Amino acid sequence: MSDAVGSAKPETGGIANPPVIILIEPQLGDNIGKAARAMLNCGLVDLRLVRPRDGWPNERATANASGADIVIDNTKVFEREEDALADLNRVYVTTARTRDAIKPVFTPKGLAPEMRNVISRGEKVGVMFGPERTGVRNEHIAMGDAVVTVPLNPGFTSLNLAQAVLLIGYEWWQAGVDVPDYQMMMNDTFPATKDDMERLFVHLEAELDASGFFRVEEKRPNMQRNIRNIFNRANLTHQEVQTLRGMIVAMRGGKYKSKD
Amino acid sequence: MSDAVGSAKPETGGIANPPVIILIEPQLGDNIGKAARAMLNCGLVDLRLVRPRDGWPNERATANASGADIVIDNTKVFEREEDALADLNRVYVTTARTRDAIKPVFTPKGLAPEMRNVISRGEKVGVMFGPERTGVRNEHIAMGDAVVTVPLNPGFTSLNLAQAVLLIGYEWWQAGVDVPDYQMMMNDTFPATKDDMERLFVHLEAELDASGFFRVEEKRPNMQRNIRNIFNRANLTHQEVQTLRGMIVAMRGGKYKSKD
């Protein structure tokens, strides 16, 4: 049990103790900063560096964090992996390839609910990222409880550090939000009712009749159906129906006043 | 219907006609290159630039693509958005915030199966990304069939260009692969059978008996259960059971020969 369970800050999406991100031997400050930015995008705020090449603090990291100061200012630096992991109950190690170790393997999508379960029991978890060029070494794999591998184009799997951090964080955040995968942006209006649509069609057909559009009587039923299909498919709003009726009136030389 | 449905290249994960990525007014070549790298990570190969600030080709883009040459070499440049989109049947526009438009809104996760459905009908689709600092303008939203928004920490939603491209591509790729979210890395061995485990326990308990470990007879059943729980929980492999039995033999001063 960690004693670090504190108040849930808003920037973490209400989670008191979100996963810690541990970067082993990171090189360019640019990449550390971009990783920090990706972390805050996803409600992760606890960054730890083991033997950063260019020391710490690092101006390039701050510049590339693009305002994720809360992450940069609280970043901790360690000389040894063991010290960076000491207070964690569970550690997951990211790796691009299978190893000589018997370990559970998660995708980022599978890891997210796993971490949320473990954290809900009061445990503290971390995700470890290896050196940028070489990835984690077998000694790092041995420090972890499980590994994480992102399913990607098998011919081109190499992710940069910030992008690997982003994918772990992205799935972490998605597992905690309840946004529908598809919705209609409605902008203070409402979908048209079937009555709105029927009035539109009656209006339109009357004006088409008056203007001589339905020349061949036997084709009328089919043409009416086609026209109704066009507008039904458009998922119109109430306001858009009024706009269309205004267009009809204008084209017929009149002035439309909404009566609905 | 696009006439560009050609042979499915292996780098696209077997999809003949994967989504096109359109970047409007991209600035730093670094970011274009990183976006190209993220695309190839996810099986996307068709990149189009509208009014890139620093022209094209761009050395920084090539360097930052880290080997995604197939994307860089085939990148096309356009002066007008309309020309970049001309051969596409459906266009999705990424945006960080809601707009004054009545549009369907997808998450990246919802967009992936939508695009796969549309592509399977032979249509050609693209995803448009706006200028880096400002994002897309309302005129761009109007060019699209729907918008895409990534659910992220509401206090810090700003993604850099390559990271936004990565998240769209990541979900695109995930929707086409069938990797279990959790599996056990087995390294050419097999999970132990219950018979392996039973032989281990009988062996261990016999040697614990012989060494006087079960001093208090009434505690024996409980202690045996606890010990069995420890090893059952470890999900041992057949090989690991042999290793443990070898350890028992060694600690008792003998030499273990596997008979199983």
Q: For residue range A11-69, what is the model confidence (pLDDT) as tens digits?
A: 788 888 999 999 999 999 999 999 999 999 999 999 999 999 999 999 999 999 999 99
Q: How far apart are CA B220 and CA A141, in angstroms?
A: 37
CB-nearest to B153 from A155, A160, A173 is A173
Task: Identify whether residues A39 and A125 lie together within a single domain.
Answer: yes
Confidence of residue A7 (pLDDT cuts 50, 70, 90): very low
B69: nearest Cα among B80, B61, B81: B61
For chain A, give the mean pLDDT. Answer: 89
pLDDT tens sequence across B51-75:
999 999 999 999 999 999 999 999 9
B52: nearest Cα among B19, B20, B29, B25: B25
Contact B156 A68 (CB under 8 A): yes
Q: What is the side-by-side strand order in the sheet with A90-94?
A: A76-78, A47-50, A20-24, A125-129, A90-94, A146-148, A103-106, B182-185
Token duo for residue A67: 């305002």
Mean predicted confidence (pLDDT) in A150-177: 94
Task: Identify whether residues A111 and A221 lie together within a single domain.
Answer: no
Contact A152 B186 (CB under 8 A): no
> Between residues 20 and 79 of chain B, which touch chain A (CB distance below 8 Å)?
34, 37-38, 40-43, 66-68
Task: Note the pLDDT of residue A2.
Answer: 36
Contact A185 B150 (CB under 8 A): no
Task: Identify whether residues A87 and A170 lie together within a single domain.
Answer: yes
Whether B221 maps to a domain, the answer reads yes
Q: How far apart are CA A41 and CA A202, in angstroms?
A: 51
Task: Identify whether residues B49 and B112 lie together within a single domain.
Answer: yes
Task: Identify whether residues B243 and B167 lie together within a single domain.
Answer: no
Q: How far apart are CA B79 and CA B64, in angstroms?
A: 24
Task: Identify whether residues A142 and A87 lie together within a single domain.
Answer: yes
Task: Note the pLDDT of residue A158.
Answer: 86
Q: How far apart are CA B13 and CA B177, in angstroms?
A: 9
Task: Identify whether residues A101 and A170 lie together within a single domain.
Answer: yes
Contact B66 A147 (CB under 8 A): no
- Residues of chain B neighbouring A68 (CB-CB closer than 8 A): 156
Task: Note the pLDDT of residue B235.
Answer: 84
Task: Identify whether residues B169 and B41 lie together within a single domain.
Answer: yes
Q: Which runs of E-coded beta strand occur in chain A?
A: 20-24, 47-50, 76-78, 90-94, 103-106, 125-129, 146-148, 182-185
Kindly report which listed range (A78-82, A156-160, B27-31, B42-46) carries the lowest average pLDDT score: A156-160
Contact A102 B237 (CB under 8 A): yes
**Domain end among B174, B202, B226:** B174
**Which residues of chain B register pLDDT less than 50?**
1-7, 260
Domain containing B139 equals 10-174
Task: Note the pLDDT of residue A38.
Answer: 97
Query: Which contacts (CB < 8 Å, 24+ apart) does range B190-193 have?
Result: B190/B237, B190/B238, B191/B235, B191/B236, B191/B237, B191/B238, B192/B236, B192/B237, B192/B238, B192/B240, B192/B241, B193/B238
Domain count, chain B: 2
Task: Note the pLDDT of residue B8.
Answer: 57
B143: nearest Cα among B50, B76, B43, B18: B50
Task: Note the pLDDT of residue A12.
Answer: 84
State the smallest CA–CA distance between residue A2 and chain B in angstroms.
Answer: 22
Burial of residue B201 (number of CB atoms within 10 Å: 0-12, 13-18, 19+): middle
Burial A108-136 (b: 16+ CB within 10 A, else e): bbbbbbbbbebbeeebbbbbbbbbbeebb
Task: Note the pLDDT of residue A258.
Answer: 57
Assign residue B6 a region (left: φ > 0; alpha: ψ between -120 and 50; beta: otherwise).
Answer: beta
CB A152 within 8 A of CB B11: no
Task: Identify whether residues A154 and A213 lie together within a single domain.
Answer: no
Task: Note the pLDDT of residue A108.
Answer: 97
pLDDT tens sequence across A106-138:
999 999 999 999 999 999 999 999 998 888 998
- Per DSSP, helices labelled H in chain B are 29-41, 59-64, 69-73, 81-85, 108-120, 138-143, 161-174, 194-210, 220-233, 238-251
Task: Note the pLDDT of residue A30.
Answer: 95
Task: Identify whether residues A107 and A39 lie together within a single domain.
Answer: yes
Burial B99-112 (b: 16+ CB within 10 A, else e): beebbbbbbbbbbb
Q: How far apart are CA A85 and CA A126, in angstroms?
A: 8
